[in-house]
């Protein structure tokens, strides 16, 4: 008699059991069926799959099922449910579900599950929390896609950054350091010169795919966003906190809305390892988790989100606004909300571009940067909260972190609680009155040369990575003088818009812009891209929600 299958322990709250009442409620929308050993309930890469509850028997979640790289991730028994975040997000399955012990399962269509989650907060919270923890576990385990390449390759860095920013589980295989890389490439028929490559579904090879190709394969891109039967009520350009909030409120209030972003949902906030002063989260929340929750919430109400979607121009045609994308797609809409935020400024030092592909970072995340720098010495430049949060996070992964600030007092630009935490860390050194003047190394960064701004003496600090957080500049170059900007390039709104700059595509007598409206009526701005905004996540969320209120006003006037 064979040994019973051992169930994976639930150590993190990722694998809860449903109550009998919850299973009964789900049963009213699903179908029961018996299972046999070896039966596959869904396959890795399936574009959609049902929500399965195990009633009896056991099911294993397998990565690379049927390939030489097969790996069992977890095993589950009665009362547990299968799937992870990809199910609710409408993305392909990352794992295969294979019956280990015969029994019975309850299968419910995912649309019915989404409806139940929306109307049953207890069940919804249970499923959402479990799915988010499962996604984090998959990221930590290096499950999902595999990226094979050289750490010195800018394209490999691009693919890893894209996966990390979009919370895609992946395993990094370094052709220089991983002993399995050569054998794996030989099995796949790929030469080292053809790397980087992405392995999907265990053996499907994508040779140096662009971000848009990878997004399509893993289900990030919203299909046919320009094929709507009618014009959109609002197109949101930028999926940071302001854009996601706008997507939630617009969709929940019945507006047709699409949210576009060139990189990933969450904006700069998604790169924050811990946001500790956001209302309602006394224990703090990572920027990535906040972005995941907001994205699911927006999709729940019917908002369409697509990544990557790089907007290149804002134009006008027949009284409507026209959004033009880099791939040639055109989207027609009654209103536009600009929430493109700001991008981090770069250090003006020699060889920066040379090292940006391998050793210079503008974010510190667990999925990417922390893995690359584990056990090394790193340098962080900046005196604000972003630099402080990155330093605290990196201190838990690196041998030593050197924080460089240009002034004397760490708490001048950084929240006091964060400054105190930084100075209390034993493996962090704060270098006051210090400026980076040179980067040194061969294939990758080895040292940063810094100068004391008081004594003008220079010295070398060992560092394999440089993290830069020295402020930001607005992402508005794509607007090409279509709307009024301030002298720093931020979007002017409301009373700050000069009266002679106001335009109306309908060629009527222009009214004064609403509070968050730009010089072109029907185009709004919110969050960090707006002139005079407060650079905080909470204020960006508030502005995104408020902008939709003014969108309603503008649409009401159009109809009148």
Return the pLDDT at 318. Answer: 85
Return the pLDDT at 2. Answer: 57
Residues 6+ apart with CB under 8 A from 198: 145, 146, 147, 148, 159, 205, 206, 209, 214, 217
Residue linked to tokens 């004391």? 452
Return the pLDDT at 229. Answer: 61
Q: What percent of the chain has pLDDT over 90?
A: 73
Alpha-carbon 529 to chain mean position: 19
Class of domain 232-343+472-559: alpha beta
Determine how β-strand 71-76 pairs with β-strand 197-200: unpaired
Q: What percent of the chain has pLDDT over 70?
A: 98
Q: pLDDT tens digit string along 304-313?
A: 999 999 999 9
Question: Which pLDDT band holds residue 268 (cuts at 50, 70, 90)?
Answer: confident
Query: Which of 398, 405, 517 minimizes the C-alpha distance to 452?
Result: 405
Return the pLDDT at 553. Answer: 96
Return the pLDDT at 537. Answer: 92
Alpha-carbon 394 to chain mean position: 19
Angle between helices 537-559 and 241-252 (to 10 degrees): 40
CATH number of 145-218: 3.40.30.10
Determine how β-strand 458-462 pairs with β-strand 445-452: antiparallel
DSSP 75-113: EE-TT-B---HHHHHT---SSEEEEEEEEEEEEE-HHHH
Return the pLDDT at 3. Answer: 67
Residue linked to tokens 């977890």? 74
pLDDT exceeds 50 at position 240: yes
What is the number of residues in the chain? 560
Sign of CA dihedral 431, 432, 433, 435: positive
| Pick among 2.60.120.10, 3.30.1330.10, 3.40.1520.20, 3.40.50.720: CATH of 20-136 | 2.60.120.10
Q: pLDDT tens digit string along 43-80?
A: 999 999 999 999 999 999 999 999 888 999 999 999 99
Query: Which of 83, 42, 82 minimizes the C-alpha distance to 58?
Result: 82
List b or e across 103-142, with b for residues whose CB sees 16 or more CB atoms inside 10 angstroms: bebbbbeeeebbebbeeeeebbebbbebbbbbbbbbbeeb
Class of domain 352-468: alpha beta
Q: pLDDT tens digit string along 373-388?
A: 888 999 999 999 989 9
- What are the domain boundaries of the chain? 20-136, 145-218, 232-343+472-559, 352-468
Average pLDDT over residues 440-466: 93
Return the pLDDT at 1. Answer: 47
Average pLDDT over residues 512-518: 97
Return the pLDDT at 286. Answer: 87
CA 222, 223, 224: angle at the middle one, nearest 5? 120
- State the Cα–Cα distance between residues 85 and 129, nearest whole angstrom: 10
The DSSP bridge partners found for residue 466 are 360, 379
Average pLDDT for the chain = 92
Give Cα separations from 92 to 38, 86, 145, 364 (angstroms): 21, 6, 12, 27
- State the Cα–Cα distance between residues 560 and 554, nearest whole angstrom: 10
CA 230, 232, 236: angle at the middle one, nearest 5? 160
Q: Which of 135-139, 204-208, 269-273 has the lowest mean pLDDT?
A: 269-273
Sign of CA dihedral 66, 71, 73, 79: positive
Return the pLDDT at 386. Answer: 87
Residues 6+ apart with CB under 8 A from 558: 334, 506, 522
Return the pLDDT at 367. Answer: 62
Residue linked to tokens 């796949």? 188
Give Cα separations from 25 to 21, 31, 56 (angstroms): 6, 12, 18
Q: pLDDT tens digit string along 13-50?
A: 999 999 999 999 999 999 999 999 999 999 999 999 99
Q: pLDDT tens digit string along 308-353?
A: 999 999 999 888 999 999 989 999 999 999 999 988 889 999 999 8
Residues 6+ apart with CB under 8 A from 356: 154
Return the pLDDT at 223. Answer: 67
Query: Which of 267, 249, 261, 139 minimizes the C-alpha distance to 212?
Result: 261
Query: Which of 162, 164, 160 minimizes the C-alpha distance to 172?
Result: 160
Return the pLDDT at 32. Answer: 97
Whether residue 196 is preceded by a cis peptide bond, meaning omega within 30 degrees of 0, is yes
Let me know if the fold of 232-343+472-559 is the same as that of 352-468.
yes
Return the pLDDT at 373. Answer: 84
Return the pLDDT at 510. Answer: 84
Return the pLDDT at 116. Answer: 85
Determine how β-strand 330-338 pairs with β-strand 523-525: parallel
List b or e across 538-551, with b for residues whose CB sees 16 or more CB atoms inside 10 angstroms: ebbbbbbbbbbebb
- State the Cα–Cα distance between residues 71 and 68, nearest whole angstrom: 9
Average pLDDT over residues 359-368: 80
Give Cα separations from 390 to 115, 199, 333, 376 (angstroms): 38, 30, 39, 15
Say which residue, 3 or 458, is predicted with more confidence.
Answer: 458
Return the pLDDT at 560. Answer: 65
**Burial class of residue 20 in the structure, from the number of CB atoms within 10 Å of its CB (0-12 exposed, 13-18 middle, 19+ buried):** exposed
Give Cα separations from 161 to 359, 373, 520 (angstroms): 12, 14, 35
Half-sphere exposure of 329 (CA within 13 A, CB side): 17
Return the pLDDT at 228. Answer: 59
Query: Which of 242, 270, 241, 246 minimizes the C-alpha distance to 258?
Result: 246
Angle between helices 110-119 and 20-27 (to 10 degrees): 130
């Amino acid at each position: 008699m064979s040994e019973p299958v051992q169930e994976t322990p639930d150590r993190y709250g990722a694998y809860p059991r449903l109550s009998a009442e919850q299973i009964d409620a789900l049963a009213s929308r699903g179908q029961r069926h018996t299972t046999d050993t070896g039966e596959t309930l869904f396959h890795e890469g399936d574009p959609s799959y049902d929500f399965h509850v195990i009633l009896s028997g056991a099911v294993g979640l397998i990565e690379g099922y049927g390939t030489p790289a097969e790996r069992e991730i977890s095993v589950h028994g009665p009362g547990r449910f299968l799937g992870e975040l990809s199910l609710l997000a409408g993305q392909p399955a990352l794992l295969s579900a294979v019956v280990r012990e015969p029994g019975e399962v309850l299968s419910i269509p995912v649309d019915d599950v989404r409806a139940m989650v929306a109307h049953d907060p207890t069940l919804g919270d249970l499923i959402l929390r479990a799915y988010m923890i499962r996604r984090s576990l998959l990221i930590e385990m290096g499950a999902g896609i595999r990226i094979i390449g050289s750490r010195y390759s800018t394209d490999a860095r691009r693919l890893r950054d894209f996966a990390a920013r979009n919370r895609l589980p992946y395993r990094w295989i370094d052709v220089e350091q991983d002993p399995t890389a050569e054998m794996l490439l030989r099995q796949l028929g790929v030469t080292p010169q053809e790397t980087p490559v992405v392995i999907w579904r265990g053996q499907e090879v994508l040779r140096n795919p662009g971000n848009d190709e990878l997004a399509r394969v893993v289900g990030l891109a919203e299909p046919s966003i320009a094929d709507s039967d009618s014009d959109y009520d609002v197109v949101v350009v930028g999926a940071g906190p302001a854009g996601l909030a706008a997507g939630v409120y617009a969709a929940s209030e019945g507006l047709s809305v699409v949210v576009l972003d060139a990189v990933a949902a969450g904006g700069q906030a998604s790169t924050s390892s811990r946001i500790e002063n956001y209302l309602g989260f006394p224990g703090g929340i990572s920027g990535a988790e906040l972005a995941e929750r907001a994205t699911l919430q927006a999709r729940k109400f019917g908002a369409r989100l697509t990544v990557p979607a790089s907007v290149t121009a804002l134009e006008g045609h027949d009284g409507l606004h026209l959004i033009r994308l880099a791939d040639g797609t055109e989207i027609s809409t009654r209103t536009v909300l600009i929430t493109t935020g700001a991008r981090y400024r770069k250090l003006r030092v020699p060889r920066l571009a040379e090292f940006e592909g391998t050793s210079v970072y503008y974010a510190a995340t667990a999925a990417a940067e922390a893995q690359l720098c584990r056990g090394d010495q790193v340098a962080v430049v900046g005196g604000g909260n972003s630099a402080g949060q990155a330093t605290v996070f990196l201190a838990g992964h690196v041998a030593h972190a050197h924080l460089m600030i240009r002034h004397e007092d760490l708490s001048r630009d950084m929240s006091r609680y964060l400054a105190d935490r930084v100075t209390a860390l034993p493996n962090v050194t704060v270098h006051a009155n210090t400026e980076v003047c040179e980067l040194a190394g061969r294939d990758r960064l080895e040292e940063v040369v810094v100068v004391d701004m008081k004594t003008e003496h220079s010295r070398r600090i060992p560092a394999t990575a440089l993290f830069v957080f020295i402020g930001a500049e607005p992402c508005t170059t794509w607007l090409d003088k279509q709307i009024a900007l301030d002298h720093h390039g931020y979007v002017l709104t409301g009373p700050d818009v000069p009266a002679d700059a106001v335009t109306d595509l309908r060629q009527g007598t222009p009214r004064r812009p609403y509070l968050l409206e730009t010089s072109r009526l029907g185009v709004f701005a919110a969050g960090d891209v707006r002139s005079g905004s407060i650079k905080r996540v909470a204020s960006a969320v508030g502005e995104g929600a408020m902008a939709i209120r003014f969108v309603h006003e503008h649409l009401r006037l159009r109809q009148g």
